[in-house]
Amino acid sequence: MIQHFVQLLLFFLILLLVSYPFGKYLAHIFSGKKVIGDRFFGPIEKLVYKIIRVNPESEMMWVEYTVALLLFNGLGFLFLFLILGFQHYLPMNPLHLAGLRWDLAFNTAVSFVTNTNWQAYAGEVTVSPFTQMAGLAIQNFFSAATGIVVAVVLTRGLIRKQVSHLGNFWIDMTKTFLRVLLPLSIIFALVLVWQGVPQNIQSKAVFHTLEGKTQTIVMGPIASQEAIKELGTNGGGYYNANSSHPFENPTPVSNLIEIFLILFLATSLVFMFGFMVGNKKQGIVILVSMLILYFLLFAGNYFSERYGNPNLAGTGTVVQSMEGKEVRFGLFGSVLFSTTTTSTSCGAVNSMHSSFAPLSGLFLILPIMLGEVVFGGVGAGLYSILLFVFLTVFIIGLMVGRTPEYLGKKIESFEMKMTMIAILIPSSCILIGSAVAAMTKLGTNSILNSGPHGFTEILYAFTSASGNNGSAFAGLNANTVFYNLFLGVAMLLGRFGVIIPVMAIAGSLVHKKIIPVGDGTFHTTSPLFVSMLVLFILIIGALTFFPALVLGPILEHMQLLKHILY
């Protein structure tokens, strides 16, 4: 056990050491400063601006920026929906796979556009290599870039004063794609190829098993899909088994690399925030808050799995739970991956969450419910936790009788209204969607297990969709018209129902002047503020979701102790 926690600390030490300079690099990119690669990327960017007819010196107000963002993502949805629906007419379809049913195509297109990557299908037997590359992989880039630019815009709203412009959507997207996501994806795709992840355009490969039989496995451009899937916290797997499949994640080394990729950009963006606001301590405070929440969730998940199912420990010895896990990753590798993927709204899995102990299921669903604040999705994690920062300084301001401020900007009624809308929309989608599904046969007919475990399947599905996570609890047959439509709507609201209020907050803050620090200013770089921020996040999460969690994983755990199994 001690060696596992030593590995955990070493892993995060490496992550922080690498993320810090990259965060500075990101800050320079979005601040218009000179960086390494200008001579190479500069001409390419100018060509792109010329093709799309964008003036690189022009900037947008928040409404114009938001409209451009929604239009871009709307066209991306339409493009992907058509590819999925008419896949059988398109090239590079060696297995002659049919087009997806309309509701599944809708759900999948929404899923990849919203950075959710919820998959109600088995990828290797449903979508062609062309669809994987031209449809799904492209949206992996664009949806991740969308989250990043929204975080950048909110940061600009905090640091600019008494102006109205927040940057240019097309320029920010181009820089994010060309200077960040594309080169990193190429590098790490090659790293994964080194570890044994295939990258080819073969339709299938035939292998001979130890029993002397043959097995046919679908092949394709897997490493490139895997790299951006993890790097952009997307999560959609080339195979139905996702990152538990030996072709997506073949070794313990590749497992750690993929976990690193999931956390890398989310961590770098927090450092970027500190550099852009001119106060690195502000970024460190947010990062420490995220780390505290992450380690609490990891510890709960780890100890729940380590001591396993008490019904199997008849001799009094510890029986670790390995059901649903890959032996090559072991308990630690599985718990680390599962905690990371639900904390970052990635959705990739290297083990089956439904097989985890009930309390482990609680610690896996909880970070999604908290609102993408434990590192969160790329970009989404930063702007989501900033919403809770605004809420924290507002409550503290009320307690001390002073107008709340953050980085010298007053947090007033408009910002708080938008903050509460952004927090309540995903929460409402989770609770209302789960309630409707649990009360109707259209919802309950799809569950595999009865009792509280079956309810957790439903609760996890709507939590994953509304939180734009994409991982599944397993057991739930989500490929029905009911779930495809309801979960699709939850994904849209969970993504753009947060982004639009965040953009409105940025548009309001950018007009305000920066107030100098005074004697009555509450310092947001102190340990007290960190503890208050973490406490408010946990309290709001508990008040919102505790009744639902009691009906699901908590009740299942209590019945497990009484030897009642599902």
196: left (phi over 0), alpha (psi -120 to 50) or beta: left
Inter-residue contact 345 to 368 (CB < 8 Å): yes
Does residue 521 lie within any of the structural domains? Answer: no
Q: What is the pLDDT of residues 231-257, one digit of tens each?
A: 999 988 889 899 999 999 999 999 999
The predicted pLDDT at position 309 comes to: 73
**Mean pLDDT of the 140-151 span:** 97
Say which residue, 56 or 522, is predicted with more confidence. 56
Which pLDDT band, with edges at 50, 70 and 90, does 316 fall under? very low
In a domain, 91, yes or no: yes
> Residue 130 sits in which domain range?
15-276
pLDDT in tens, 457-479: 999 999 999 999 999 887 889 99
Structural domain total, the chain: 1
- Pairing status of strand 405-406 against strand 204-208: unpaired
Q: What is the pLDDT of residue 77?
A: 97
- Average pLDDT over the chain reads 92
235: CB partners within 8 A, 6+ apart: 116, 117, 229, 242, 341, 346, 347, 348, 349, 469, 470, 471
| Nearest Cα to Cα of residue 217 among 258, 248, 194 | 248
pLDDT at 474: 79
Enumerate helices (H) and strands (E) in the chain, giving the number of each.
20, 4
Q: Is residue 238 part of a domain?
A: yes
Please give the pLDDT value at position 236. 86
Residues 6+ positions from 420 with CB-CB distance below 8 Å: 391
Looking at residue 516, its pLDDT comes to 81
363 within domain boundaries: no
Tell me whether residue 50 is in a domain: yes
Which one, of 441, 469, 475, lies nearest residue 456 by Cα? 475
Give me the percent of the chain exceeding a pLDDT of 90.
76
- The Cα 229–Cα 267 span in angstroms is 16
| Residue 312 belongs to a domain | no
Report residue 319's pLDDT band, with 50, 70 and 90 as the boundaries: low
Q: Which two tokens stand for residue 321?
A: 């739970």
Does position 481 have pLDDT exceeding 70, yes or no? yes
What is the mean pLDDT of the segment spanning 410-418?
94
pTM of structure: 0.94
Percentage, residues of the chain above pLDDT 70? 98
Q: Is residue 284 part of a domain?
A: no
Q: Are 503 and 257 in contact (CB under 8 A)?
A: no
Q: Is the pLDDT of residue 314 over 60?
A: no
